[in-house]
């Protein structure tokens, strides 16, 4: 059973609930907000309440799919930021990232009315519906839209402000600064204002004998007070027009009313249903939206916030931003056509697809923008795919390498040695030569087999390179470097590398160079001797012949136990399929185009990388570009 925490943040109270995957509220807690406090204290209380609910329920953090928060005001769902909330006087508060920092669980943030709409859709009056509008008639008029089962929030999550659409041009002033908004006529505040004005003009009205609120106005009508009845008639006329506009615009299955006025139930909704049936476009021939009251009350926000984490999100390709490395042998080529924007000089490597703690890549698009790929996959482990999950950790690291100077002679350990002595993965890798200067090449294994003693002596005498196999390299060449192969990238090469997710490098020889501290860089000779294969390299990359396919050409370059890497040449449109067995990483070597899926697109150009989640399904590549694809 999966669970999530839902938090309904209000100006008065913080309400927190544990919700299961059936959208049943299992446990609830609350405390006063104390809205005059610094936001850091309020968020700390929210996190503490969430953690306490998990502990009291006997749940581990892994049992919790995440923490959803419904906040008043404008919330950016993509960044988890509360942009502005007048209720709690917040501006640009990083709510989502702070909750994640304090709890260790992913957090999703949305407007509280959006969460209430989601709650009513998954567990309340609109359960089973895929197209729902919620209008909350309280101090203001809030709104939430569900279209095809998904929240519609608009750019920067600033949409669905139903209360701030115009009902009467140049009408009553609104709190937003405009005039004639729906909120100025259809909120509970507006009804009370209208009733007070009517009572003042009619001293005989029963409204002068009570404390006026929405219920008192309707009670007065029921008691035969003509003034109260006229106030209700006019209020419902304005509300009916606002609702009819929503129906004509969206034609949802249901339009739910929440907030204080909705407590009038059917005596409110019956006349509204009649009006909409008579006045909506095509009402006598097409489906007419049903108007009803919300049923979950204050629980809607908690359940809806939890649903932000519990509902299976549509998988989308993730455009990634790399981590950069400024090793002393690097150059400046990656800052040109490859579009790398960093002040690092030199720029040696860009870690394009990485969950390694030494340099994780960052998501650039969608709700996880600004978060690391590692964070995303911690929250969505199935998106790695069945084969990747079997490794117990993210298996690959993909990078660009710009070698303006030769790299050190080095070797990487295999899995057995790395696990025993380093508590890490080993490192098998492959290189694709993206650019090569005249005369460039690599050291790749030994010219012939040598003994351990001979290798020790060559290292001590600084003559190791004389024993190594030198392989010229040109653009388009592929080299497969199994763990244990002594190697070095020569100067003048720009390489795309796919490797196991490891940063273990045993340096054997470094040309006597000094590091940034002015001292010779460390060598790891004993470890290198322990893992090195002292022979001519016989590894076959597994490269296959290119195959013409619709939209271009495909060629498998390396097929080994740990990964498969292919080269795609796209001209036009090329169809693809990403199943549940493995994610797929795309690295654009040249040209530009886009990844297309489900009516959406992610633009892609030279130097950029995209992560396709396992289970994405059908997608296509469009444009004119050359790509490397990697999967496990």
Residues 37/38/41/47 CA torsion (nearest 10 deg) = 110
Full-model pTM: 0.59
- Which residue is listed with tokens 């100077």? 405
Between the two ends of the chain, the Cα-to-Cα distance in Å is 29
> Which residue among 371, 507, 567, 569 is the active-site one?
507
Q: Is 2 a catalytic residue?
A: no
Tell me the pLDDT tens digit for each residue of 540-599: 777 899 999 999 999 999 999 999 999 999 999 999 999 989 999 999 999 999 999 988
Q: Which two tokens stand for residue 566?
A: 């292919």
- Residue by residue, DSSP assigns 46-105 as HHHHHHHHHHHTT--GGGEEEEEEEESSEEETTTTEEEEETTTTEEEE-HHHHHHHHHSS
Q: Which two tokens stand for residue 110?
A: 């949305």
Say what the pLDDT of residue 2 is.
78
Task: Using the predicted structure, report yes or no on whether residue 411 has a pLDDT greater than 80.
Answer: yes
Tell me the pLDDT tens digit for each residue of 76-94: 887 789 998 877 889 999 9
Kindly list the distances between the CA atom of residue 391 and the CA atoms of 50, 382, 384, 421, in Å, as whole numbers in the listed order. 31, 13, 10, 18
Tell me the pLDDT tens digit for each residue of 183-231: 999 999 999 999 999 999 999 999 999 999 999 999 999 999 999 999 9
- Which positions ≥6 away from 404 have C-beta within 8 Å? 329, 330, 331, 332, 333, 346, 491, 492
Among 304, 313, 246, 234, CA closest to 276? 246
Q: Give residue 189's Cα distance to chain centre.
A: 38
Task: Using the predicted structure, report yes or no on whether residue 523 has a pLDDT greater than 80.
Answer: yes
Cα 255 to Cα 135: distance, rounded to the nearest angstrom: 7
Helix, strand or coil for residue 450?
A: coil
Helix, strand or coil for residue 128?
A: coil
Cα 510 to Cα 347: distance, rounded to the nearest angstrom: 19
Q: Which two tokens stand for residue 278?
A: 């008579």
Mean of pLDDT values over 450-472: 95
Tell me the pLDDT tens digit for each residue of 329-381: 999 999 999 999 999 999 999 999 999 999 999 999 887 888 899 988 887 88
Cα 388 to Cα 395: distance, rounded to the nearest angstrom: 6
Q: How many CB atoms lie within 10 A of CB 345?
A: 10
Task: Using the predicted structure, report yes or no on whether residue 292 has a pLDDT greater than 90.
Answer: yes
Q: Which two tokens stand for residue 279?
A: 């006045």
Say what the pLDDT of residue 535 is.
93
Q: Which two tokens stand for residue 119?
A: 């709650």
Mean pLDDT across the chain, nearest whole number? 93
């Amino acid at each position: 059973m999966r669970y999530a925490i839902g938090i309904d943040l209000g100006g008065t109270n913080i309400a927190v609930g544990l919700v299961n995957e059936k959208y049943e509220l299992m446990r609830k807690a609350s405390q006063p907000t104390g809205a005059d406090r610094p936001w850091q204290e309020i968020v700390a209380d929210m996190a503490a309440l969430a953690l306490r609910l998990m502990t009291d329920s006997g749940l581990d953090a892994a049992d919790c799919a995440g923490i959803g928060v419904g906040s008043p005001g404008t919330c950016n769902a993509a960044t988890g930021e509360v942009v502005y909330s007048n209720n709690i006087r917040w501006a640009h508060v990083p709510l989502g990232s702070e909750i994640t920092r304090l709890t260790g669980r992913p957090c999703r943030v949305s407007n509280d009315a959006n969460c209430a709409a989601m709650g009513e859709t998954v567990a309340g009056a609109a359960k089973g519906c895929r197209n729902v509008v919620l209008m909350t008639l309280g101090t203001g008029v809030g709104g939430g839209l569900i279209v095809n089962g998904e929240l519609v929030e608009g750019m920067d999550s600033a949409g669905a402000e139903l209360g701030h659409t115009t009902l009467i041009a140049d009408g009553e002033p609104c709190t937003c600064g405009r005039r004639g908004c729906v909120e100025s006529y259809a909120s509970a505040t507006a009804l009370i204002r209208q009733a007070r004005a009517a009572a003042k003009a009619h001293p005989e009205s029963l409204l002068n004998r009570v404390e006026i609120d929405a219920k008192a106005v309707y009670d007065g009508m029921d008691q035969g007070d003509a003034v109260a009845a006229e106030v209700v008639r006019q209020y419902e006329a304005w509300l009916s027009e606002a609702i009819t506009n929503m129906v004509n615009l969206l034609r949802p299955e249901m339009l739910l009313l929440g907030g204080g006025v909705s407590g009038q139930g059917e005596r409110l909704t019956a006349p509204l249903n009649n009006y909409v049936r008579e006045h909506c476009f095509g009402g006598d021939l097409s489906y007419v939206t049903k108007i009803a009251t919300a049923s979950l009350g204050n629980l809607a926000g908690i359940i809806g916030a939890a649903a932000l984490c519990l509902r299976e999100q549509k998988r989308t390709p993730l455009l990634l931003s790399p981590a950069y490395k400024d090793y002393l042998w690097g150059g400046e080529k990656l800052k040109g056509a490859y579009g790398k924007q960093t002040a690092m000089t030199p720029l040696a490597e860009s870690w394009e697809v990485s969950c390694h703690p030494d340099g994780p890549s960052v998501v650039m698009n969608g709700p996880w923008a600004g978060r690391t790929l590692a964070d995303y996959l911690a929250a969505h482990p199935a998106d790695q795919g069945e084969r990747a999950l079997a490794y117990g950790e993210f298996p690959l690291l993909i990078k660009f390498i710009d070698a303006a100077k030769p790299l050190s002679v080095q070797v990487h350990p295999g899995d057995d040695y790395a696990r025993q002595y380093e508590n890490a993965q080993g490192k098998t890798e492959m290189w694709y030569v993206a650019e090569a200067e005249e005369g460039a090449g690599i050291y790749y294994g030994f010219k012939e087999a040598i003994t351990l003693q001979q290798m020790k002596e060559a290292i001590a005498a600084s003559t190791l390179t004389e024993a190594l196999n030198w392989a010229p390299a040109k653009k388009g060449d592929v080299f497969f470097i199994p763990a244990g192969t002594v190697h070095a990238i020569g100067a003048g090469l720009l390489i795309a590398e796919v490797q196991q997710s490891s940063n273990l490098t045993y340096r054997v020889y470094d040309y006597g160079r000094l590091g940034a501290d002015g001292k010779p860089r460390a060598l790891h000779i004993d470890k290198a001797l322990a893992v090195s294969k002292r022979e001519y390299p016989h590894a076959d990359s597994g490269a296959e012949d290119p195959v013409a396919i619709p939209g271009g050409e495909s060629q498998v370059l390396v097929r080994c136990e740990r990964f498969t890497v292919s080269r795609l040449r796209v001209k036009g449109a090329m169809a693809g399929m990403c199943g549940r067995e493995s994610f797929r990483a795309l690295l654009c070597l040249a040209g530009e185009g886009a990844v297309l899926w489900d009516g959406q697109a992610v633009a892609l150009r030279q130097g950029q990388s995209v992560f396709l989640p396992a289970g994405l399904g059908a997608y296509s590549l469009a444009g004119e570009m050359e790509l490397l694809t990697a999967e496990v």
